[in-house]
Amino acid sequence: MAVGCSNDHKAPEVSITPPEKYDLNNDTSVFSGEMKRYWLVLLKKGPNRNQDSISAEKIQVAHMANINRLAKEGKLIMAGPIGIEDDLRGIFIMNCTDSAEVENFVKTDSAVITGRLIMKYYPWWAGKGKYIFK
């Protein structure tokens, strides 16, 4: 349902769009009942954040290149920044066999190497299936 609002004091317009029929049997993204372990990586502010703007930009460009590389390799499922100014700066969800693999991949990140970010990782379980984020 959508409701429009205006300043001319008329009744709001209401339009109702019926939902599409959902077919559970044909949905390949449905939870299969099995669980899989992923890794939740929290990227927090590190102790070395006093780089000049040019250096900080170079670190960020390399950070994004590393994210794209890990995604292409199938190791990084999702990544993104936190939307508020806080010590927590971003998250990764990684598809790795163990914590050593997670640590080795995250240690290739320029922001971690330079101390701009520090990582903390946790095993995270989710239902096996196909997740589509749009």
Backbone angles phi, psi at 47, to 5 degrees: -75, -15
State residue 116's pLDDT score: 96
Question: Distance between the two ends of the chain, CA-based, in angstroms?
Answer: 21
Helix (H) or strand (E) holding 106: helix 99-106
Sequence ranges of the domains in the chain: 31-127
Q: Residue 122: beta bridge partners?
A: 40
State residue 35's pLDDT score: 80
Residues of the chain with pLDDT under 50: 1-6
31-127 CATH fold? Alpha-Beta Plaits (3.30.70)
Give the predicted TM-score (pTM) of the model: 0.69
CB neighbours (10 Å) of residue 102?
Answer: 23
For residue 54, what is the DSSP state? Answer: H
Angle at 74 between CA 72 and CA 77, to 5 degrees: 100
State residue 3's pLDDT score: 42
Helix (H, G, I), strand (E, B) or coil at 17: coil
Enter the tokens of residue 132: 């589509």
Query: In whole angstroms, what is the distance from residue 89 CA to residue 42 CA?
Result: 8
Report which of 101, 99, 90 is spatially closest to residue 121, judged by C-alpha positions.
99
Query: In whole angstroms, what is the distance from residue 72 CA to residue 31 CA?
Result: 24
